[in-house]
Chain A
Amino acid sequence: MSLGSPATTDLVTETTPVATSTSAGPELVQLLTPEGERVEHPDYPLSLSDDEYRAMYRDLVLVRRIDVEATALQRQGELGIWAALLGQEAAQVGSGRALRPQDFAFPTYREHGVAWCRGVDPLRLLGLFRGVSNGGWDPQEKRFNLYTIVIGSQTLHATGYAMGITMDGAVGDADTAEAAIAYFGDGASSQGDVNEAFVWASVYNAPIVFFCQNNQWGISTPTGHQTRIPLYQRARGFGFPGVRVDGNDVLASYAVTRKALDDARTGQGPTLVEAFTYRMGAHTTSDDPTRYRLASELEAWKLKDPLERMKAFLYKQQIVDGGFFEALDAESADLAARIRQGCLAMPDPDPLSLFDNVYAETTQVLRDEREEFAQYLAGFSGGQH
């Protein structure tokens, strides 16, 4: 860069690799090919029962159904917005099912599949996007924190929680010890909070898994604008291992996360898991991806669809028949109908609930404000206005 003509130096195009990639490189951990062939990986042996395989597929199907229904409800004006997980079902169900009941998950705003695995009623998620609540469930009961919209914040919360696990002596035993998992995106990987979480987790050897869904996009920004190296390699510089898993492969996502969680709970510290996947839909229902990405990219990823490959696998294993799929179709339709009805029936909150729970111990200023507003509202029903 010469002092005289700095404006002519192209800061971005010179240094930034172009757009996103559909190929993840040889380091990718995969247990199921896009065609549904089962392959082995030396570090991640996995044998599930037929029932467990079927259950994984059921989760994938139902989670997608929830997502599709929510998108439809948004289109019909019943939700303010919806952040679809379309394409990321395997990363979420795989990692979500790897969690033990005692583990604690810290999601972003897109972890509907993990919420499902933690037993959060999908209607609670819809409530947030409908605008009736900013929370919706009891994080302690579900061991699933509230959704976090501010990018990256929750990675520090998860790290602190994991430090608490260590302080409580709940690390060590392979069966009963606890671990935390922090979900975040490729975009989030640039945030200061996320990098600070890496430092803390490393220094305190915290029992945590950082689960990054690299869905190739942060709104319109491709992952190549956030990093010059594969994201999983970032971990090394912070002092803990990183692994890249095929996020569209539910079995690999499950096996890799399970191992990372077990390492954490047995005192071996953090792991960064980069789930290589794709955001098949828009960023949210407010977004228009045709402005920034090519349709051909989506077509390439459709060939790696997480549901299709698991379906092909089940057929190849000969552990399902037509009846299984029919029953699952019916179950999904029922679930969708329940969600739809539940959403339409969701009442608006009471206006005075605005003033609830602002503090553990409310204040006189707030009580007075509430009273004044109550009187104001009563004036309308009394016809004074």
Chain B
Amino acid sequence: MAQLTMAKALNEGLRKSMEDDAKVVIMGEDVGKLGGVFRVSDGLQKDFGEHRVMDTPLAESGIIGTAIGLAIRGYRPVCEIQFDGFVYPAFDQIVSQLAKIHARSAGQVKMPITVRIPFGGGIGAVEHHSESPEAYFAHTAGLKVVACSNPLDAYFMIQQAIASDDPVVFFEAKRRYWEKAEVDTSAVPAPLWHARVVRPGTDVTLVAYGPMVKTCLDAATAAEEEGRSLEVVDLRSLSPLDFPTVFASVRRTGRLVVVHEAPKSIGLGAEIAARCSEELYYEMEAPVLRVTGFDTPYPPSRLEEEYLPDLDRVLHAVDRSLGY
């Protein structure tokens, strides 16, 4: 077993997919010689050649649009969008084309495309480098959307996403790229669309994904010192959502706090709250609470610690939940 950063785990996962399937190609800005600005594809062009790891022209719509053509031709493209805020030039290709081709072709044309997007804040970057656009994609039928939060998941989830015959928007928690963990590459991975209880507890359920999973785990550790037992669920898949796992946890604790960096209004938290109220109305002890980014543009970096949910804001919501 090796200690890997999440960036390296993704790199190893990509390598494995490329070895397993000659149709897998990587395309994006600066993914080849540079290995990507976060080095996620480091060394892959050297080992697999320029035809399988392409430094594309600088145009996101072009990247996704040509990937769609390659997929029609039988390839399995893995596209990198350099930063969350730069996916929008490709929005039309993703939402109007990629998402709909399978349905429009009556299932005859598969779109096995993975769109990798480093997302979220906390790295002190300038504008457009810290956003959380997942709800746009999760709101779009035909796309599957996942977010990895740790190296072990990253290693397997990227391979599962690539192997999927559906288009997958793959969010990588960029501020967790450098965090290390044991990665047992011989482990049997959970199915990609399953959420996971990453810390069991009895008093309140915290549901999170991507960068906020670690924040919630830290909150749970802090809460334990005050005698409170928090259960943390890592959603992993944002579309489809794994409601059975979430519901089972909320049945155990009776209380739910959803945590994400993305703005509150019309976000993932709203969907989860609505489903819980539909399904668990009589079993919940408190309303579902949300700890999220604000309904404002992502702020300049000197304010990002105020904007981003942190341990204190999570525990504050836990207090409120327990106060009902």
Would you call A349 and B300 a contact (CB within 8 A)?
Answer: yes
Partner of A13, one of B29, B50, B86, B301: B50
Whether A358 sits at the interface, judged by CB under 8 Å, is: yes
* B-facing residues in A206-234 (Cβ within 8 Å): 218-221, 225-226
Would you call B295 and A366 a contact (CB within 8 A)?
Answer: yes
Whether A320 sits at the interface, judged by CB under 8 Å, is: no
* Tally of contact residues, B, Cβ under 8 A: 51
Contacts of B297 in A (CB 8 A): 134, 358
Whether B102 sits at the interface, judged by CB under 8 Å, is: no
Whether B16 sits at the interface, judged by CB under 8 Å, is: no
Could you tell me the distance in whole angstroms from the C-beta of B296 to the nearest C-beta in chain A?
A: 5
Question: By CB atoms of chain B within 10 A, which of A220, A287, A353 has the most?
Answer: A220
Would you call A291 and B58 a contact (CB within 8 A)?
Answer: no
Could you tell me the distance in whole angstroms from the C-beta of B88 to the nearest C-beta in chain A?
A: 8
Contact flags (1/0) for A351-364 with B, using CB distance below 8 Å? 10111001000000
In the bound assembly, the distance between CA atoms of A223 and B58 in angstroms comes to 10
* Tally of contact residues, A, Cβ under 8 A: 52
Contacts of A188 in B (CB 8 A): 58
Task: Name the prevailing secondary structure of the B interface residues.
Answer: loop
* B-facing residues in A144-160 (Cβ within 8 Å): 149-152
Could you tell me the distance in whole angstroms from the C-beta of A71 to the nearest C-beta in chain B?
A: 15
The total of interchain contacts (Cβ-Cβ below 8 angstroms) comes to 135
Partner of A354, one of B33, B54, B61, B307: B307
Contact flags (1/0) for A1-26 with B, using CB distance below 8 Å? 00000111111110000000000000
Would you call B295 and A192 a contact (CB within 8 A)?
Answer: no
Closest to A286 in B: B37
Partner of B58, one of A12, A128, A151, A351: A151
Would you call A291 and B34 a contact (CB within 8 A)?
Answer: yes
Contacts of B55 in A (CB 8 A): 12, 220-221, 225
Partner of A7, one of B51, B54, B296, B313: B51
Would you call B303 and A220 a contact (CB within 8 A)?
Answer: no
Given contacts A13-B50, A219-B29, contact A365 B89 (CB under 8 A): no
Stretch from B122-130, B253-261, B277-285 at the A interface: B122-130
Whether B49 sits at the interface, judged by CB under 8 Å, is: yes
In the bound assembly, the distance between CA atoms of A365 and B294 in angstroms comes to 11
Given contacts A150-B85, A354-B299, contact A10 B50 (CB under 8 A): yes
Would you call A225 and B303 a contact (CB within 8 A)?
Answer: no
Contacts of A41 in B (CB 8 A): none
Whether B69 sits at the interface, judged by CB under 8 Å, is: no
Question: By CB atoms of chain A within 10 A, which of B29, B35, B126, B294 has the most?
Answer: B126
Given contacts A80-B301, A221-B30, A348-B302, contact A190 B62 (CB under 8 A): yes
Given contacts A219-B34, A369-B295, contact A80 B124 (CB under 8 A): yes
Closest to A128 in B: B126
Contacts of A376 in B (CB 8 A): 313, 316
In the bound assembly, the distance between CA atoms of A131 and B313 in angstroms comes to 23
Partner of A218, one of B52, B58, B128, B295: B58
In the bound assembly, the distance between CA atoms of A11 and B201 in angstroms comes to 53
Would you call B300 and A9 a contact (CB within 8 A)?
Answer: no
In the bound assembly, the distance between CA atoms of A134 and B37 in angstroms comes to 22
In the bound assembly, the distance between CA atoms of A369 and B74 in angstroms comes to 49
**Measuring CB to CB, which residues of chain A are less than 8 angstroms from any residue of chain B?**
6-13, 80-81, 109, 128-134, 149-152, 187-188, 190-193, 218-221, 225-226, 286-287, 291-292, 348-349, 351, 353-355, 358, 365-366, 369, 373, 376, 379, 385
Residue contacts A-B, CB under 8 angstroms, 29 given: A6-B75, A7-B51, A10-B49, A10-B51, A12-B55, A13-B50, A80-B125, A80-B126, A81-B125, A131-B303, A150-B85, A190-B57, A190-B59, A190-B62, A191-B59, A218-B29, A218-B58, A219-B34, A292-B34, A351-B303, A351-B306, A354-B299, A354-B303, A354-B306, A358-B296, A366-B295, A369-B294, A379-B316, A385-B316
6 closest Cβ contacts across the A-B interface? A131-B301, A220-B34, A190-B57, A187-B58, A12-B50, A351-B306
**Measuring CB to CB, which residues of chain B are less than 8 angstroms from any residue of chain A?**
22-23, 29-30, 32-35, 37, 49-52, 54-59, 61-62, 73-75, 85-86, 88-89, 124-129, 264-265, 294-297, 299-304, 306-307, 312-313, 316
